[in-house]
């Protein structure tokens, strides 16, 4: 758990980086009105404390032939709090997200594949994991919003 106190400058830096992860340190410094060395030190501390977890390149899934997105609820027979099945689900390359959930089903999994045949094959692979008892998939028709940006206030309240 992170105990680092986040101030207004940290929030400004985080908002800038979330909007453009490739922005230069000098550009961040210009936008926040601080020296590049001070901004660099802030970013290093945000990384070290785990507030900044990393940077990634967002690739168009459709341009790579992965046009079908599905969310699959998975019911398993494993002890409460056990996530071994989730670890196995996460190993499949077509699985983008695995969430251990409360309720009737144990996991909610986001899958990106080529088509319904590929989804069927993926679900069959899920079925080879011993404790998996049932799956229920919802196919996405249109994605209205998809983001990993965490809304941050401009001021720390």
Q: What is the pLDDT of residues 128-148, one digit of tens each?
A: 999 999 999 999 999 999 998
- Stretch 49-60: mean pLDDT: 92
For 63, phi and psi rounded to 5 degrees?
-65, -20
- Stretch 61-65: mean pLDDT: 93
For the whole model, what pTM was predicted?
Answer: 0.83
The reported pLDDT for the residue numbered 155 is: 58
CA pair distance 125, 134, nearest whole angstrom: 12
First to last CA, the chain: 20
Q: What is the pLDDT of residues 20-33, one digit of tens each?
A: 999 999 999 999 99
Other C-beta atoms lying within 10 Å of the C-beta of residue 122:
22
DSSP-assigned states of every residue in 87-108: HHHHTSTTEEEEEE-SSSSSEE
133 and 78 Cβ atoms separated by less than 8 Å: no
């Amino acid at each position: 758990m992170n105990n680092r106190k986040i101030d207004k400058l940290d929030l400004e830096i985080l908002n800038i980086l979330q909007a453009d992860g490739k922005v230069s340190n000098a550009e961040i410094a210009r936008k926040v009105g601080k020296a590049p060395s001070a901004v660099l030190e802030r970013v290093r501390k945000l990384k070290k404390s785990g507030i900044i977890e990393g940077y990634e390149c967002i690739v168009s899934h459709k341009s790579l032939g992965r046009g079908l997105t599905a969310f699959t609820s998975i019911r398993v027979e494993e002890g409460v709090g056990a996530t071994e099945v989730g670890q196995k689900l996460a190993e499949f390359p077509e699985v983008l997200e695995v969430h251990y959930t409360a309720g009737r089903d144990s996991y909610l999994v986001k899958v990106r594949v080529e088509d319904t045949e590929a989804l069927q094959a993926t679900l069959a692979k899920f079925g080879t994991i011993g404790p998996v008892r049932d799956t229920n998939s919802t196919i996405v028709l249109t994605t209205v919003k998809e983001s990993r940006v965490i809304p941050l206030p401009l001021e720390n309240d």
